[in-house]
Amino acid sequence: MGTKDRYERLREQATASERDSSPQTLLAVVSLAISLLLLAPLVWVFLRAGEIEFARAMELVTSDTTVSVTLNTLALVTGVTVASIFIGVPLAILTAQTDLPFKRFWTITSALPLVVPSYIGAFAFVSAFGPRGVLADLLAPLGIDQIPTIYGLHGAILVLTLFTYPYVFLTTRASLLSFDGTVVEAARTLNHTRWEAFRRVTLPQIAPGIAAGALLVALYALSDFGTPAIMQYDVFTRMIYNEFGARRLDYASVLSMLLLVMALGILAVESRLNAGRDGAYVSSGSRRPGLIRLGYWKVPALLFCGTIASLCLVLPIGILVQWLLRSGTGYSGGGFAFDAAYAWNSVGLAAAAAAICVVAALPIAYLSARGSSGFSSLPERATYVGYAVPGVVLGLALVYLGLRYVPFLYQSVILLVFAYVIRFLPQAVGTTESSILQVDPSYIEAARSLGYHPLSAFRKVVLPLVAPGIAAGAALVFLTTMKELPATLMLRPTGFETFVTYIWLVQGAGYYGQAAVPALVLVGLSGLSMLVILRREDTS
């Protein structure tokens, strides 16, 4: 009997059964409460925008600058998303389904760029390919004194893509690993070439996985400030930052609203692509497709992996080392001395954010995975909105709301961690949900029939099984929190420094050498958490 049938049936059973029990209502209430709490700070944007007269608002929205920035942002988001798919999907296929040599090594190098903060990556690219960068120095003796500029749209797309494509890589790889290989074999026997089989069978099945990663990439590209700023390309975030700096709050809030609208648009597109999403995560067969023999393609494939790893890892690390060597540790005055406490502050904040995110993600992910109504995935969708909010907007919103409504939390670690949860919860929700979808729903029923209350059944049976997914979600939140800058600067307690605020401080003062060591340590620590994410594959 068809395994597919069996899963569909199990799923129907699961949804049907929970229709009858109160836990789902409770779950829905809890999830909704969490997502409302997380979205509440965004009300600030609307409050600010609401202060503007309608005619003025229309004028701002339709101004040439707004239109061109909107188009720029669309171009950047589209470019980064498409480019990430073109890098992330081939890498995922190469490492998951071919006889590529040193696959494990390339898997790690392909995932690792996620740990490099994109602003450090952008600095590295400017240092390397900027007007007076390393490349220009190398080419100068050859008589080439003009190289194409790294600044602008293409530079911003390049840098953002190289440091965010791992989202697509990781989700696509997960889909491929849980993918039933027999269907590809079926397609091959139906006279499809490998390529046709991939296009007509594999691709549709892993598409939801690709889309899940692409969603994170698109929203990240929308919310990132550092890279477009360094690459001198005008997008919403850069404009918003400049407008806030100039204290034109009305225009800043209008731009923030447009950004949120674009985020909702991206979510809508992804939801549509993912209409049959569940299938993507649930492995309906245990057979992996046979390895694709690369043959003559081995060399280009290795070159591809090597090039990406060089650009994403060797280059930024090389530039950091160069800073270190060229300028020594630089200025070593008291104000610039690195204090080990900064490292602990970073790790502590990131661990707290990760812990809270996985706890908050559980009900939301569970509801989304097992819920019976269209409403069930609403809280899950809502968490993604927070992910798209630029740190500076979130920072100001929490400054404003914190001061007025929870003054005792203002400039406290609690409010800062709350900001991280708003921004990074969807990463935990995504991995947790995909793990839950892989757990046979009848486990809970079996446990209940053996006398367990639904909650204890969940704790005893589902939780141990989804633990690797939860750990991966925690690791993802951990490493993104470690590198978050704008909200950290605005919301941390006075006198409280972290890795990134320290790097920002010394870099801002021009002491690049001072920034190198903490930046390398930051990348190293985050790299460890990436191993947790990759280990999950071994257990699931």
Q: How far is the CB of 101 from other proteins (least distance, A)?
A: 30
Residues 169-188 interacting with other proteins (rule: CB under 8 A): none
Helix axes 413-437, 391-405, angle to 10 degrees: 120
Binding mask 336-375 for other proteins (x = CB under 8 A): x---------------------------------------
Q: Which of 2, 148, 407, 538 binds other proteins (CB under 8 A)?
A: 407
Enclosing H/E stretch for 264: helix 249-273
**Residue 392 is a binding residue for other proteins (CB under 8 A):** yes
Would you count residue 198 as binding other proteins (CB under 8 A)? no
Stretch that binds other proteins, among 157-165, 194-202, 345-353, 437-445 (CB under 8 A): 437-445
CA atoms within 13 A on the CB side of 414: 6
Which of 399, 406, 520, 532 is in the footprint of other proteins by CB under 8 A? Answer: 399
Rounded to a whole number of angstroms, the minimum distance from the CB of residue 515 to other proteins is: 11
How many Å apart are CA 522 and CA 120, to the nearest integer? 11
Confirm or reject binding of residue 255 to other proteins (CB under 8 A): no
The DSSP output letter for 140 is: G
65 binds other proteins (CB under 8 A): yes
309 to 328, contacts with other proteins by CB under 8 A?
Answer: 328
Q: Is residue 540 part of the contact set for other proteins (CB under 8 A)?
A: no
* Spatial CB neighbours of 528, under 8 Å, sequence gap ≥ 6: none
In this structure, what token pair is assigned to residue 239? 């404009």
Of 29, 37, 186, 246, the one binding other proteins by CB under 8 A = 246
Q: In the stretch 509-538, what mask flags binding to other proteins with x, by CB under 8 A?
A: xx----------------------------
The residue range among 158-166, 176-184, 301-309, 456-464 that interacts with other proteins, by the rule CB under 8 A, is 456-464
Closest CA relative to residue 493, chosen from 390, 419, 389, 393: 419
Helix (H) or strand (E) segment spanning residue 503: helix 499-508
Rule CB under 8 A: say whether 449 interacts with other proteins: yes
Indicate if the alpha-carbon torsion angle 64, 70, 73, 75 is positive or negative.
negative
- Show the site string, 116-155: x = touches other proteins by CB under 8 A, - = not: ----------x---xxx------------------x----
Binding residue for other proteins, selected from 182, 271, 329, 412, defined by CB under 8 A: 329
Nearer to other proteins, 66 or 81 (CB): 66
Binding of other proteins by 85 (CB under 8 A): no
Interface of this chain with other proteins, residues 17 to 36, rule: CB under 8 A:
17, 20-21
Backbone angles phi, psi at 511, to 5 degrees: -95, 75
Q: Is 412 in the site for other proteins (CB under 8 A)?
A: no
487 binds other proteins (CB under 8 A): no
Summarize the chain as % helix, strand, coil (round to 5): 80, 0, 20
Residues in the chain: 540
DSSP secondary structure code for residue 373 in this structure = S
Nearer to other proteins, 179 or 251 (CB): 251
Task: Give yes or no for residue 276 binding other proteins (CB under 8 A).
Answer: no
d(CA 46, CA 335): 39
Return the SS3 of 111. helix
Please give, one letter per residue, the 3-state secondary structure of 135-163.
HHHHHHHHCCCCCCCCCCHHHHHHHHHHH
What is the Cα–Cα distance from 49 to 267, expressed in whole angstroms?
A: 23
The one-character DSSP state at 329 is T
